[in-house]
Chains A and B, each alone.
Chain A
Amino acid sequence: SQQGEEDPQALSIQEGENATMNCSYKTSINNLQWYRQNSGRGLVHLILIRSNEREKHSGRLRVTLDTSKKSSSLLITASRAADTASYFCATAGSIEGNLIFGKGTKLSVKP
Chain B
Amino acid sequence: ETGVTQTPRHLVMGMTNKKSLKCEQHLGHNAMYWYKQSAKKPLELMFVYSLEERVENNSVPSRFSPECPNSSHLFLHLHTLQPEDSALYLCASSQNRGWETQYFGPGTRLLVL
Nearest residue (CB) in B for A2 is: B42
Is there an interface contact between B55 and A97, defined as CB atoms closer than 8 Å?
yes
Instruction: Tell me, yes or no, whether B86 is within 8 Å of chain A by CB.
Output: no
Within 8 A of A (CB), among B49-80: 50, 55-56
Is there an interface contact between A97 and B31, defined as CB atoms closer than 8 Å?
yes
Contacting residues, chain B, for A45 (C-beta < 8 A):
101-103
CA distance A28 to B45 in the complex (A): 20
Is there an interface contact between B56 and A99, defined as CB atoms closer than 8 Å?
no
Instruction: Tell me, yes or no, whether A87 is within 8 Å of chain B by CB.
Output: no
Instruction: Tell me, yes or no, whether B22 is within 8 Å of chain A by CB.
Output: no
A residues near B (Cβ < 8 Å) are 2, 30-31, 33, 35, 40-45, 48, 88, 92-93, 95-104
Besides the known contacts A44-B2, A99-B45, 18 further A-B residue pairs in the complex with CB atoms under 8 A apart? A2-B42, A33-B101, A42-B90, A42-B92, A43-B104, A44-B104, A45-B103, A92-B99, A96-B98, A97-B55, A97-B56, A97-B97, A98-B45, A98-B56, A99-B102, A100-B45, A103-B40, A104-B42
- 20 A-B residue pairings within 8 Å (CB atoms): A40-B88, A40-B107, A40-B109, A41-B107, A42-B2, A42-B4, A42-B105, A44-B2, A44-B104, A45-B102, A88-B43, A93-B45, A97-B48, A97-B56, A97-B97, A97-B99, A99-B99, A100-B45, A101-B42, A104-B42
